[in-house]
């Protein structure tokens, strides 16, 4: 996975790069997820990727409607009740970077 993620992410088939996620189904209510984002590489977590992985797993009949997603950044809970329902994500929010930037005055 550590080799395939960057290879797919930078494949010539995707000239602008692509986000790639790898889901491991542990059981019907638990998965592990690793995500490689274009321009960044492997990330600690990806909320939209976690939602997409769970919806795909539910549609394939592999997962229940509520799933715990284990990422390097922590645990997310994703719930989806079906086609017309919203996908709900809950989990902690953690600051991983803080910085300042000086911008020149625009005239």
Q: How do residues 10-31 score in pLDDT, each as one tens digit?
A: 778 888 888 899 999 999 999 9
The secondary structure of the chain as a DSSP string is -TTHHHHHHT-TTSTT---EEEEEEEETTEEEEEEEETTTEEES--HHHHHHHHHHHHHTT-S-SEEEEEETTEEEEEEE-STTSPEEEE-------------PPP-
Q: What is the pLDDT of residue 1?
A: 61
What range defines the domain where residue 58 resides? 16-90
Is 1 within the bounds of a domain? no
Is 50 within the bounds of a domain? yes
Is 99 within the bounds of a domain? no
pTM equals 0.82
Is 81 within the bounds of a domain? yes
Is 56 within the bounds of a domain? yes
Is 96 within the bounds of a domain? no
User: Which residue stretches of the chain have pLDDT < 50?
Assistant: none
Q: What CATH number has the domain bearing residue 51?
A: 3.10.310.10
Q: What is the pLDDT of residue 57?
A: 97
């Amino acid at each position: 996975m550590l080799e395939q993620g960057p290879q797919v992410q930078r494949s010539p088939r995707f000239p602008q790069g692509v986000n790639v996620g790898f889901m491991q189904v542990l059981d019907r209510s638990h998965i592990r997820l690793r995500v490689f984002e274009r321009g960044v590489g492997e990330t600690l977590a990806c909320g939209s990727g976690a939602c997409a992985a769970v919806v795909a797993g539910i549609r394939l009949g592999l997962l229940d409607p509520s799933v715990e997603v284990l990422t390097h950044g922590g645990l997310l809970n994703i719930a989806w009740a079906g086609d017309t329902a919203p996908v709900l994500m809950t989990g902690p929010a953690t600051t991983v970077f803080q910085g300042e930037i000086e911008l020149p005055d625009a005239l």
